[in-house]
């Protein structure tokens, strides 16, 4: 009896050991197949019924209806442009960009309208506000508002970039030179300068490259603006540690001229003929034939008058930067976006919208009357011919020769002296 009980006890221990071994083996196999420990179940996303249809109806009744609640001046103030221009943008985007076309969901409900999406994007660009700031009025959530802004920026560049971010054509250049001659600077094509946009969410590894001194990381915009605040050239992206000269070395502003794709220009200053236009700059730019700076310490009446006129006309680009930042506060406040490419798209889209507004409202604030412009056009010495210039470079040697003409310091001094005499003669004749 004792031996049989010992056998039963041993058999029970063997069975228990087998069970423990199998359990440990199963756990080992499970951990090998799925090394990640089981995670807690995610919380279910809270659905918010925003009643987007009511948001569209409210927007329509406030601004776009026949008896709109808010008059045109308030529309211009809040949308930064006149109503017909905004409707033109909405129609173009809804016809060419699938994102702005209104669709129905699986329940048959209509999605956000093109007016809601474009208004959300304009409000973010114009006020520089957070994406969820438009939720209460337009009934658009934060993530959808960010998508509206990104697609709106891409759509503006796709639909209007070729027309409103172009380089001056022969007709544009002729108009710029006539205006420059009226202001006392024959051959002037505008003024050039740089603007910094702070990048708050700059990656830590890049901060040393984009930060100058003990300041904040910034991205630089180089621009050329005319008297009517149209921005003809925009080069955005260099890091903020670069100054205007370093950025000029990277800029494509003279590429068309070097490659012979620029229209021919001819004008006369103080009896001397010139065949290359120039830009007004501040003192940091080099003394090239394509740049005219002021005189830092003018001695005498003629240099003082020239310095006064040059500094007054050079403020065109400063005014353009100020108006651009006033219209679109997003480029004035620190950029909160991480992606540099998206920041560049926002800057270019704001410049395109700025030029569209300038074209739409140019006649309301121009300094020059039509008769004055026609008289200067008929009696002036400026001549612009479209097409390629006669000295189109056929080799790298010709391109280097054109580059040397652009940087000619002797021509710079001669042109500057002729402009001093021309402005003195012009103002003395007007006073007589």
| Same domain as 294, residue 360 | yes
| Same domain as 368, residue 353 | yes
pLDDT in tens, 199-250: 999 999 999 999 987 789 999 999 999 999 999 999 999 999 999 999 999 9
| Same domain as 184, residue 111 | no
Question: Does 36 fall in a domain?
Answer: no
* Percentage of residues in the chain having pLDDT higher than 70: 82
Question: Does 241 fall in a domain?
Answer: yes
pLDDT in tens, 98-133: 999 988 888 788 889 999 999 999 999 999 988 889
Which pLDDT score is estimated for 40? 61
Question: Does 33 fall in a domain?
Answer: no
Question: Does 9 fall in a domain?
Answer: no
Query: What is the mean predicted confidence (pLDDT) over 17-41?
Result: 59
Whether the per-residue pLDDT at 47 is higher than 80: the answer is no
> 3-class DSSP state for residue 197?
strand
Domain extent, residue 142, equals: 52-164
| Same domain as 176, residue 160 | no
Which pLDDT score is estimated for 396? 82
Domain count, the chain: 2
- CA distances (Å), 431 to each of 264, 311, 313, in order? 34, 21, 20
Question: Does 366 fall in a domain?
Answer: yes
Helices and strands, counts by H and E, the chain: 16, 8
| Same domain as 321, residue 307 | yes
| Same domain as 335, residue 204 | yes
Of 271, 295, 273, nearest to 283 by C-alpha is 295
- CA distances (Å), 1 to each of 14, 15, 215, 234, in order? 20, 22, 94, 103
**What DSSP line would sit under 361-374, residue for residue?**
HHHHH-SS-HHHHH
| Same domain as 301, residue 218 | yes
Which pLDDT score is estimated for 158? 95
Question: Does 71 fall in a domain?
Answer: yes
Domain final residue, candidates 117, 138, 164:
164
Question: Does 361 fall in a domain?
Answer: yes
Lowest mean pLDDT among 101-105, 156-160, 356-360: 101-105
Which pLDDT score is estimated for 219? 95
| Same domain as 265, residue 195 | yes
| Same domain as 110, residue 215 | no
Mean pLDDT of the chain, nearest integer: 86
Interatomic CA distance for residues 358 and 352, integer angstroms: 10
Domain final residue, candidates 121, 142, 164:
164
Interatomic CA distance for residues 147 and 164, integer angstroms: 24
Query: Kind and range of the H or E element at 359?
Result: helix 340-365
Question: Does 16 fall in a domain?
Answer: no
Which pLDDT score is estimated for 48? 81
| Same domain as 362, residue 253 | yes
| Same domain as 247, residue 331 | yes
Whether the per-residue pLDDT at 7 is higher than 80: the answer is no
Which pLDDT score is estimated for 412? 94
Give the pLDDT band (50/70/90) at residue 390.
very low
Whether the per-residue pLDDT at 1 is higher than 90: the answer is no
| Same domain as 179, residue 142 | no
For residues 118 and 371, which has the higher predicted lDDT (pLDDT)? 118
């Amino acid at each position: 009896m004792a031996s049989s009980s010992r056998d039963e006890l041993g058999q029970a221990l063997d069975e228990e050991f087998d069970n423990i071994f199998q359990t440990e083996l199963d756990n080992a196999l499970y951990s090998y197949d799925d090394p990640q420990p089981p995670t807690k179940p995610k919380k279910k996303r809270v659905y918010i019924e925003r009643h987007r249809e009511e948001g569209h109806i409210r927007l329509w009744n406030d601004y776009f209806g026949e008896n709109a609640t808010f008059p045109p001046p308030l529309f211009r103030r809040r949308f930064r442009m006149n109503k017909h221009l905004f409707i033109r943008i909405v129609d173009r985007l809804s016809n060419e960009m699938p994102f702005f076309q209104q669709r129905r969901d699986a329940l048959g409900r209509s999605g956000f309208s093109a007016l809601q999406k474009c208004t959300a994007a304009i409000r973010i660009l114009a006020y520089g506000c957070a994406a969820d700031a438009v939720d209460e009025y337009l009934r658009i959530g934060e993530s959808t508002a960010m998508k509206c802004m990104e697609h709106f920026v891409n759509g503006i560049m796709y639909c209007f970039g070729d027309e409103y971010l172009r380089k001056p054509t022969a007709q544009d250049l002729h108009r710029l030179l006539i205006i420059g001659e009226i202001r006392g600077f024959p051959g002037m094509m505008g003024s050039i300068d740089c603007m910094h946009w702070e990048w708050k969410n700059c990656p830590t590894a890049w901060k040393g490259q984009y930060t100058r001194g003990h300041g904040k990381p910034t991205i630089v915009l180089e621009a050329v603006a005319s008297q009517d605040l149209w921005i003809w050239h925009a080069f955005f992206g260099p890091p903020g540690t670069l100054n205007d000269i370093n950025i000029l070395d990277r800029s494509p502003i003279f590429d068309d001229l070097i490659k012979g794709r620029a229209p021919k220009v001819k004008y006369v200053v103080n009896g001397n003929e010139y065949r290359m236009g120039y830009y007004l700059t501040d003192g940091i730019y080099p003394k090239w034939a394509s740049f005219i700076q002021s005189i830092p310490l003018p001695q005498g009446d003629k240099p003082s008058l020239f310095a006064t006129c040059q500094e007054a006309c050079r403020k065109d680009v400063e005014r353009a930067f100020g108006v651009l930042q006033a219209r679109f506060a997003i480029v004035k406040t620190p950029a909160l976006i991480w992606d540099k490419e998206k920041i560049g798209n926002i800057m270019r889209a704001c410049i395109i919208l700025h030029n569209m507004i300038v074209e739409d409202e140019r006649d309301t604030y121009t300094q020059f009357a039509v008769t004055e412009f026609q008289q200067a056009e008929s009696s002036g010495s400026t001549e612009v011919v479209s097409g390629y210039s006669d000295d189109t470079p056929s080799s790298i040697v010709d391109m280097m020769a054109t580059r040397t003409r652009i940087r000619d310091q002797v021509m710079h001094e001669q042109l500057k002296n002729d402009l001093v005499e021309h402005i003195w003669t012009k103002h003395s004749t007007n006073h007589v």
